[in-house]
Amino acid sequence: METKPPTPRAVLVGIQTPEVDDIAHVASLEELGRLVKTLGYEVAGTISQRREGTGAGLLLGSGKLAELAAMTGGTGQVGSMAPAPKSKARARFEGAGKPAATPEPEAAEGPRPEFVIVDHELSPSQIRNLEHATGAQVLDRTGVIVEIFHRHANTREAKLQVEMARLKYVAPRLRESTGGGGRQQGPGAGESSLDLDRRKIRDRLAALKEQLEAVQRDSDNRRSARRDQLRVALVGYTNAGKSSLMRALTGSEVLVEDKLFATLDTTVRILQPETRPRVLVSDTVGFIKQLPHDLVASFRSTLAEALEASLLLYVVDASDPTYEAQLEVSRTVLREIGADAVPSRLVLNKMDRVDATRRAELAEQHPDAIMLSAHAPADVAALRETIIGFFEAAMVEDELVLPYAKQGLIGEVYESARVLAEEYGETGRVLKVRGLPGAITRLRRSLAAP
């Protein structure tokens, strides 16, 4: 019978700086715990310390470092970063007089944690120092997020974007192997193994960039074809319920999981029941505090759905005590790509988890917000009417003549506008339509073209 491999265990480490209050610090560590669980790891414990900043070489003070090392089985000491050179004879001499090493006993509560996960972005030297002191593999917050993105990417575009971000994260953290960093022989002679690895990463990044540009040209063409259609983009913090709301609005079988970053690829579906003209709903990648800059840059094409939408719905988990900070993170990221100029509405989701007192407080703080639960059909129906009402306010009525020789374009007319009345004239069908000015202008050009 095949035995299941043990679940990796991790210790979380958080540094509370003076500008971070207790609530935000605790919430950040809880979020890191959820990120770690999304990776499939078990949280074995948490170490937290107040410090002036996160720039210290060991990050933690000596007392907390010793506490962490006791949990992981490390020495708590950094020691020399490079092994002392030894001759083979001296190595044999020193080894002959030593007893065979005995394995460390496991902690009473289970196997020792193999990972230390730090709730901050670490420098390569900080990672090396902590690994020497703890004897565990060290990941920072950025590394965890990059690894989750790597595991969850499904489409070719997302996979290319994530691999680029992953390589950019790994490159500055490469180090010489302890087995020796001698010069290579043959092609690339004169390079150390570290130089060779870095050159391979640069070459791979160049190849990925070229492939991604080709994929994004196809995506741009698809978006261009939808330019005059009515488009709503669901944006917001990861796990705020965007995918659940997407499923409720469109009836689509999009992935819904209680995990961070369950959705990485932009999904576009038609609002149901279908309207004329159609309304397209996009579910976008979620945001998170300290989202790695390279990931934001890599996903710019994916986020372009938000930039080119007619309406943004900022979806927020109203039951989360830190929802305001999460909303600000979402707005900051979208501001970076210029999407803050797009009309938007605030959607306070998961109201079924909020009591009456809290609901009243939220209504007072955000009088214009849409309060709903994605699992309540009446709430979703009301949101649908709000979306339709938004687009109706921007529509105009006009009259188009569809020449008899171009009857094949009737489908495009019905696709782009609502036909209110239809008559047959001498030269063609006379259609009274209602739609967005841009869509009607495009239809007029198509009908007039030779």
DSSP 350-376: -GGGS-HHHHHHHHHH-TTPEE--TT-
Arch. (CATH architecture) of 229-393: 3-Layer(aba) Sandwich (3.40)
The pLDDT tens digits for 65-95 are: 999 999 999 998 886 444 444 444 344 434 4
Q: Exposure of 283 by Cβ count < 10 A (0-12 exposed, 13-18 middle, 19+ buried)?
A: buried
The interaxial angle of helices 156-170 and 141-152, nearest 10 deg, is 150
The pLDDT tens digits for 382-391 are: 999 999 999 9
Domain boundaries, the chain: 9-78+111-149, 229-393, 395-448
pLDDT for 25 beyond 70: yes
Q: In what order do the strands lie in the sheet with 396-403?
A: 396-403, 428-435, 418-424
Domain spanning 9-78+111-149: CATH 3.40.50.11060: yes
pLDDT for 101 beyond 60: no
pLDDT for 123 beyond 50: yes
Model confidence pTM above 0.85:
no
| CATH fold match for the domains 9-78+111-149 and 229-393 | yes
Q: How far is CA 449 from CA 72, 223, 296, in A?
A: 73, 23, 41
Residue 190 phi/psi, 5° resolution?
100, -15
pLDDT for the residue numbered 152? 75
pLDDT for the residue numbered 106? 39
Q: Give the model's confidence band at 262: pLDDT under 50 very low, under 70 low, under 90 confident, else very high.
A: low
The pLDDT tens digits for 28-49 are: 999 999 899 988 899 999 999 9
